Amino acid sequence: MADERAGEAAPLPFGTVAVVGGGAWGTALAMVAERAGRSVRLWIREPEAARAAADSRRNPFLPGHVIPPAIAITSRLDAVLHGADLALLVIPSQFLRRVAAEVERQLAPGVPVLVCSKGIEAGTGALMTAVVAAEMPGRPHAVLSGPSFADEAAAGQPTAVTIAVPPTAGGIDPLAARLAVTMGTATFRPYVSDDPAGVEVGGAVKNVLAIACGMAAGRGYGSNPRAALIARGLAEMQRLADALGGRRDTVSGLAGVGDLTLTCSSEQSRNFSFGKALGGGLSIEAALAGRTAVVEGWANARSVTELADRLGVDMPICATVKAILDGGLSIEDAIHGLLTRPITAEPWALAAGVQVPHPAG
């Protein structure tokens, strides 16, 4: 049988990539793009840190890695964006709006942006692509998410992610394939999707659930509670994705189950280790002390829960993490509260319309 794709031109990669955000993930993605053969510039916000990284080829946010000399590093946003034909936005979720607005003023019209932040904005409840759509009206955009510790991606360990572009009438927008070939290498494999909402919900909610798993580990709990939090957390992701117009099935993929299992089961996760410190008895201040790296789940426990409340979506684990972080609930009371909720059925049974018998008394 003839290959239906025979004769189709392969998507062309973008040649010059501006990476806006010089934390661990921005630096790792700059290294991935350089490895893929792109001309790469990296924007580090703090001038002194940018100068030091340009000289030493090291970034304290991503210790243990040497940044290839071919990657230009500067704190001048105009220099990074000038002549770029793709910009990656790799900014902590609560700062993305301001940076996106600044990039919009300096980036040539029509140049696409790939959002690599994970989170939901506090106050507005906006997904990261909604923030970009608002601050960069009409600009083509996509989101990259999935199970990807910066350290391992920078080291060239096999990593798979999802790149999602808003749907078009004709299937997956060709921009997704162009972005995939721009970033893809034999060790970094993007899959494409037309469901940014589903992908983004996975990336935002897993941060909160990783804090919950960390808290359980810090309390000395073993594998049963962690598996329960992962599986029931997935149900919360599915409900939120659904309510935001995404697909439940998307959260079964890399950006949902993939990232959830990664961050909920590894001490490498900043969210998990923050939760573990709290579970071990540290105060929030003590658990955050000395950290320069972002703990997205801390702000996102609130933004996810507020969004869920507004949409009428039941997300008891995320709400519990928020209540603990707000200081109103002890971890013991939280666990008791989650385990003694009214009996319910698993999500597929509920989706099939199964009636749940209420316990007597």
Ligand X SMILES: O=P(O)(O)OC[C@H](O)CO
Residue-wise DSSP of 208-243: HHHHHHHHHHHTT--HHHHHHHHHHHHHHHHHHHHH
Verify binding: residue 320, ligand X, rule CB under 6 A: no
Of 146, 325, 305, 163, the closest CA to residue 240 belongs to 305
* CA-CA-CA-CA torsion sign (228, 272, 164, 190): negative
Map 247-305 to HEC letters: CHHHHHCHHHHHHHHHHHCCCCCHHHHHHHHHHCCCCHHHHHCCCCCCCHHHHHHHHHH
Among 67, 89, 103, 149, binds ligand NAD (CB under 6 A): 149
Report helix, strand or coil for 359: coil
Among 26, 92, 119, 147, binds ligand X (CB under 6 A): 147
Distances (CA, A) of 324 to 133, 219, 266, 302, 327: 33, 14, 21, 11, 5
Among 294, 299, 308, 319, binds ligand NAD (CB under 6 A): 294
Among 18, 210, 235, 334, binds ligand X (CB under 6 A): 210
Q: Euclidean distance between the first and final Cα of the chain, in Å?
A: 65
Verify binding: residue 118, ligand X, rule CB under 6 A: yes
Verify binding: residue 149, ligand X, rule CB under 6 A: yes
The listed partner (ligand NAD, ligand X, none) that binds 182, CB under 5 to 8 Å by sort, is none
The listed partner (ligand X, ligand NAD, none) that binds 59, CB under 5 to 8 Å by sort, is none
The listed partner (ligand NAD, ligand X, none) that binds 26, CB under 5 to 8 Å by sort, is ligand NAD
259 labelled ligand-binding: yes
Under rule CB under 6 A, which residues in 88-117 are in contact with ligand NAD? 90-93, 95, 99, 116-117
Among 93, 129, 263, 300, binds ligand X (CB under 6 A): 263
**Complex with ligand X: residue 118 or 302, whichever CB lies closer:** 118
* Catalytic option among 139, 141, 178, 206: 206
Verify binding: residue 119, ligand NAD, rule CB under 6 A: yes
Give the nearest distance from C-beta 32 to ligand X in angstroms: 14
Give the nearest distance from C-beta 118 to ligand NAD in angstroms: 4
39 labelled ligand-binding: no
Could you give the CA distance from residue 87 to residue 17 in angstroms, rounded to a whole number? 6
Distances (CA, A) of 84 to 97, 214, 226, 288, 326: 20, 40, 44, 36, 42
Q: Is 187 left (phi over 0), alpha (psi -120 to 50) or beta?
A: alpha
Among 17, 18, 21, 206, binds ligand NAD (CB under 6 A): 21
Could you give the CA distance from residue 88 to residue 42 in angstroms, rounded to a whole number? 10
The listed partner (ligand X, ligand NAD, none) that binds 119, CB under 5 to 8 Å by sort, is ligand NAD
Residues annotated catalytic, as ranges: 206
Instruction: State the residues that interact with ligand NAD by CB under 6 A.
Output: 21-26, 45-46, 61, 90-93, 95, 99, 116-119, 148-150, 293-294, 296
Residue ranges at the known binding site for NAD(+): 21-26, 95, 150, 270
